[in-house]
């Protein structure tokens, strides 16, 4: 076989009109080789003839197993067919055969109509955020992309719990100013698993009059818009940035999104801000009554006079110890009420396991504790218990009612 350089030289000389016999003599090769090189349409390539290998006798058995179970692990297949050779070699051959037996799953091109859908997802920025207790951790960012206009919204939230997910969605939908007719999620545990939505999700979507769609596994195309933007955030927003707190992150992210939404999208050849009005006009209006979202709980306040939200404890006015209080919290504030009266208000902390104390509650508890420790007066109690013993004799019939008290004595 001639080399790549000889093949290229032969074709160049033939193109210049040099006779084939002269080319063969010049390169020291046969005229037949020159004729084949001129007639070939592709460079010479060495191809080794297939020869039987140690895997060849096992291939039919492996194919039978892959037809029935395309995703069967290579180790299980090796055990079933009795393979005793190199496991790496066996895995390489199974990897070569497996695509031929997997069912085909074509993905259609999706068309997103105005107002139809908002794709929702959680993005975890690769940067730890400083929290109130001095620690730092990775926090989720709830992002929504309006499918038709490609308009992006996002906000960092404390947890992946249902309460915080619904709070984040409501905040972003208020920012959008309308509600897409479908909110598309994957199987996020705070939204729902299996056939059931998480507690509170149904009431939330019912108040908004929208429909929440949870995708089946292995369906990335139906939520690909928002997932591709997660990668866009990491390559275009994150580099070179530092964040002192979740609030600082949200401020920087909001400023950057305003600029990103004003850029032309390659697939639509338009800016999201230019398509947003048409997209929003086809959406549902915000409900006249806000949905019930956030952390809501009703507990009897114990002697400890603290209530728990997520994983942190917040102090309450000890005057309502032993009574039922209503606890509510959003992304920024925790409030506790007794019969509608505010008895505690704190900024919500995002750190885990913290204790938040209002000094006025500690002072009030000290006063109540001192009052409880003071001795109780006894004179009034004895006066209340003083009674003529003759009343008991008369009640039990030991004294004739016709006799006077002087005669009895």
pLDDT digits (tens, 9 = 90+) for 376-404: 766 554 555 566 667 666 766 666 555 44
Residue 187, pLDDT score: 85
CA dihedral 384, 388, 391, 396 (to 10 degrees): 100
Digit-coded pLDDT (tens) for 102-126: 887 665 667 889 999 999 999 999 9
Nearest to 270 by CA among 177, 151, 118: 151
CA 403 – CA 117 distance, rounded (Å): 96
Q: DSSP class of residue 284?
A: B
Task: With H, G, I as helix, E, B as strand and everything else as coil, classify residue 85.
Answer: coil
The pLDDT assigned to 38 comes to 87
Place of tokens 């509510």: 328
Segment 25-37 mean pLDDT? 88
- C-alpha torsion 379→385→386→391, nearest 10: 170
Closest by Cα among 208, 145, 180, 174 to 283: 180
- Do 369 and 304 form a contact (C-beta atoms < 8 A)? no
What's the pLDDT at 273?
A: 96
Q: Return d(Cα 336, Cα 42) in angstroms, integer.
A: 79
| Domain definitions of the chain by residue range | 4-39, 56-101, 117-281, 295-372
Query: In the prediction, which pLDDT does 314 show?
Result: 97
**Structure confidence at residue 109 (pLDDT):** 66
**108/223 Cα distance (integer angstroms):** 13
At 159, list the tokens: 């947890």
Mean pLDDT over each residue of the chain, to the nearest integer: 89
**Region label for 293, one of left (φ > 0), alpha (ψ between -120 and 50) or beta (otherwise):** beta
pLDDT at 403 (0 to 100): 47
pLDDT tens for 335-377 read: 999 999 999 999 999 999 999 999 999 999 999 998 888 887 6
**pLDDT for the residue numbered 393:** 67
When comparing pLDDT for 183 and 381, which is higher? 183
What's the predicted TM-score (pTM) here? 0.70
113 - beta bridge partners? none
CATH of 117-281, one of 3.30.420.10, 3.40.50.300, 3.40.50.720, 3.40.190.10: 3.30.420.10
Determine contact, residues 141/167, Cβ cutoff 8 Å. Answer: no
What is the band of 37 on the pLDDT scale with cuts at 50, 70, 90? Answer: confident
The per-residue pLDDT for 406 is 46
């Amino acid at each position: 076989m001639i080399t790549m350089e000889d093949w290229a030289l032969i074709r160049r000389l033939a193109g210049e009109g040099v006779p084939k016999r002269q080319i063969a003599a010049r390169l020291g090769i046969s005229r037949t080789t020159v004729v084949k090189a001129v007639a070939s349409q592709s460079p010479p390539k060495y191809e080794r003839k297939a020869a039987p290998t140690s895997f060849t006798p096992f291939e039919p058995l492996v194919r039978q197993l892959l037809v029935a179970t395309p995703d069967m692990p290579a180790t299980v297949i090796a055990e079933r067919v009795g393979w005793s050779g190199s496991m790496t070699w066996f895995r390489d051959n199974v990897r070569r055969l497996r695509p031929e037996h997997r069912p085909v799953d074509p993905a259609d091109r999706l068309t997103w109509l105005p107002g139809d859908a908002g794709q929702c997802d959680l993005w975890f920025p690769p940067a730890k955020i400083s929290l109130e207790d001095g620690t730092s951790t990775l926090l989720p960012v709830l992002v929504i992309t309006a499918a038709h206009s490609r308009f992006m919204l996002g906000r960092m939230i404390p947890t992946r719990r249902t309460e915080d997910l619904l709070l984040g969605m409501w905040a972003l939908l208020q920012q959008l100013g309308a509600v897409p007719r479908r909110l598309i999620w994957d199987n996020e545990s705070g939204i729902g698993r299996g056939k059931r939505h998480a507690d509170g999700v149904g009431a939330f979507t019912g108040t908004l009059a929208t429909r929440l769609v949870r995708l089946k596994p292995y369906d990335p195309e139906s939520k690909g818009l928002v997932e591709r933007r997660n990668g866009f955030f990491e390559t275009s927003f994150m580099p070179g940035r530092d964040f002192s707190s979740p609030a600082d992150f949200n401020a920087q992210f909001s400023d950057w999104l305003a600029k990103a939404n004003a850029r032309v999208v390659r697939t639509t050849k338009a800016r999201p801000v230019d398509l947003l009005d048409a997209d929003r006009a086809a959406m549902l209006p915000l409900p006249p009554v806000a949905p019930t979202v956030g952390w809501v709980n009703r507990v009897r306040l114990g002697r400890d006079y603290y209530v728990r939200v997520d994983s942190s404890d917040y102090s309450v006015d000890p005057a309502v110890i032993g009574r039922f209080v209503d606890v509510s919290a959003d992304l920024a504030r925790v409030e506790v009420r007794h019969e509608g009266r505010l008895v505690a208000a704190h900024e919500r902390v995002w750190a885990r396991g913290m204790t938040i104390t209002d000094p006025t509650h500690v002072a009030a508890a000290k006063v109540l504790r001192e009052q409880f420790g003071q001795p109780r007066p006894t004179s009034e109690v004895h006066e209340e218990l003083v009674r003529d013993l003759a009343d008991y004799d008369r009640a039990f019939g030991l004294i004739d009612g016709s006799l006077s008290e002087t005669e009895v004595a």
